[in-house]
Amino acid sequence: MPRTPRTPPKGLSATSPKNSKACIHDSHSEPDLTSAAAARKRKYSKDHCPVNQIDEIHDMLETWKAEQDLVLKKLTSDMAALKFQNDQIRVTNQEIEKSMSLINSNYEDMKSKLLRLEEERKEFIDCILGLEQKVKDMQHSSRASSIEIKNIPTPEKESVEDLISIVTNVGTSMNVDIKPDDIRDVYRLPGKAGAPRSIFAEFSTVHMKNDLLLSTRTFNRSRSLDEKLNTETFGLPGKRQPVYIMEYLPPTTRKLFYKAREFAKSNNFLFCWCSNGQVFLRKDKGVKQVRIESELTLNNLKSKQ
């Protein structure tokens, strides 16, 4: 097939010096193929081999796994220790609970025993108070007709006849006829050394005792302090001294009477007296009298003040 000649583009000529110069300037030298090959070799050197990178990653994973194994082992050991401690604590708590249960049971038993003992104590107190009252009643009934004469001088030698004479003389001074046969018993009571001992006299009847006490009160009530019953009233020798005639009280009642008088002074009770072996208090005139059966009665009165 015959070639068709091609016409160059308009304005361009194959032989144009300008075009030739442009072609010369546009041409490039041949690429440096040796340098490119070296670069490719460096790129795929041993340090940058994918196989080596995988080995490094594998080594890192192994190291991490070993470290994690150690941590896990330590955690497992710590957990085992904690579990052991918890077991010990659980056992200890169970023992404590058993001990507390035993203590609580013992406490309840002790509480019940204490309540029973308290009830028994109250019963014993009531029984003792009842027995004391019976003893007082027996003492009073056995000494219901007895008097006590205080502050009569005691001579060096004194016989029963001398004491009988003193008692009959007291009766005569008080306008009460007392015969020796009316005196069942008479003697001096124990007393302090150097002080006159009281005379105890028991009459044959309670009526005679009451008559003598009533006459004594009447005698003293109608006289001044200096003229009240004294040794000169009975014609006794020696220095003039006041004489007191009162109902004989057994030791328990005497002690209660003393406490009642002290209570009356400290709590503004106007009257405190003893009659037929009983102790009485009265706050004021016209106020109801209070019988003092024991010190408990005084304590109850004090709490009401």
Residues 6+ positions from 172 with CB-CB distance below 8 Å: 178
Mean pLDDT of 256-285: 90
Q: Band of the pLDDT at 35, cuts 50, 70, 90?
A: low
Backbone angles phi, psi at 156, to 5 degrees: -65, -40
Residue 45: strand pairing partners: none
pTM of the model: 0.55
pLDDT tens-digit series, residues 88-140: 999 999 999 999 999 999 999 999 999 999 999 999 998 998 888 788 778 77
Cβ pair 255, 245 in contact under 8 A:
no
Q: Band of the pLDDT at 39, cuts 50, 70, 90?
A: low
> What is each CA distance from 278 to 8, 127, 133, 274, in whole angstroms?
169, 20, 11, 5
Q: Tell me, what's the pLDDT at 123?
A: 94
Q: Residue ranges per domain, the chain? A: 72-142, 144-247, 250-305
In the chain, the percentage of residues whose pLDDT exceeds 70 is: 83
Cβ pair 196, 151 in contact under 8 A:
yes
Q: Residue length, the chain?
A: 305
Phi-psi region of 153 (alpha: psi -120 to 50; beta: other; left: phi over 0): beta
CB atoms within 10 A of CB 196: 17
Query: Does residue 213 have a pLDDT over 90?
Result: yes
Cα torsion 12, 14, 15, 20: sign: positive
Cα distance between residue 247 and residue 294, in whole Å: 19
Paired tokens of 253: 């009642």
Q: Band of the pLDDT at 181, cuts 50, 70, 90?
A: very high
Domain 144-247 CATH (choose: 2.30.180.10, 3.90.1150.220, 3.65.10.10, 3.30.70.1820): 3.30.70.1820
Query: Does residue 26 have a pLDDT over 50?
Result: no
Cα distance between residue 236 and residue 251, in whole Å: 29
